[in-house]
Structure 1
């Protein structure tokens, strides 16, 4: 029996989620804050790359948790992802 796309992604993500859970929350938060600081303070191409990494991480977490979230939680997470993607596009687009 073939696995669905969602099942394959969840299965492939399981080791990464376990590693992420093993890392102290303060370290994870520090890495996220560092990426956002690079996104805010670095020159244009590097800031866009930092925001793109944050957007990819948020999208991955949103995909993994989508079925367990309530409607308000989904809307808030989609709004955050949209905001990060918009900033990424603005930073990467040539002026």
Structure 2
């Protein structure tokens, strides 16, 4: 997985440039990169990406969208004992 991380990073960079930060495919790329970091044990990089993805998906897709719910699961997996997810304020 460690060899794949640069590819995930490049994909996210490209999607940000071409599609913009709120496009669902960009949000998916960010979530995928977080998962890659998580799988290599780099939680310091995974958690902020999961949190940002969750916050953005709540704002863009809504709380009941399947992708939003998937993002919430990523955050919960990394925070043992957590009962709720408190993303940054959504404007």
**TM-score normalized by the length of structure 1:** 0.45
- Larger gyration radius, structure 1 or structure 2: 1
Larger RCO (alpha carbons 8 Å, 6+ apart): 1
Report the structure, 1 or 2, having the larger helix content. 1
**TM-score normalized by the length of structure 2:** 0.46
